Amino acid sequence: MRVCIVGLGRMGKGVAVNLVNRGHVVHGYDVNKSIYAALNNVGVKTVDNVGQCGDADYVVLALPRAGSQPRY
């Protein structure tokens, strides 16, 4: 299964890592690119924009509630 996760913060990161550990191909996107290196090390394939998730079987949105996230 190919999954794209949009939002790699508290919840999205855990979902991405768990799916990779179960053998799925996971692409991830987040506005905060500083977390990409750590996720690449565990097998998450990070992308520069959500358009690169076009061939995913599923897209998971793990987004914060309005006003709960700092602006980048």
Specify the number of domains making up the chain: 1
The confidence score (pLDDT) of residue 64 equals: 84
Structural domain span for residue 42: 18-51
CA 53 to chain centre: 10
CB 35 within 8 A of CB 42: no
* pLDDT per position as a tens digit, 25-36: 999 999 999 999
Q: In the numeric block, which tokens belong to residue 23? A: 């053998």
- The DSSP result for 6-44, as a single string, is E--SHHHHHHHHHHHHTT-EEEEE-S-GGGHHHHHHTT-
32 in a structural domain:
yes
> What angle (nearest 5°) sits at the alpha carbon of residue 8, between those of residues 2 and 47?
55
On whether residue 24 sits in a domain, the answer given is yes
pTM: predicted TM-score of the whole model, two decimal places = 0.86
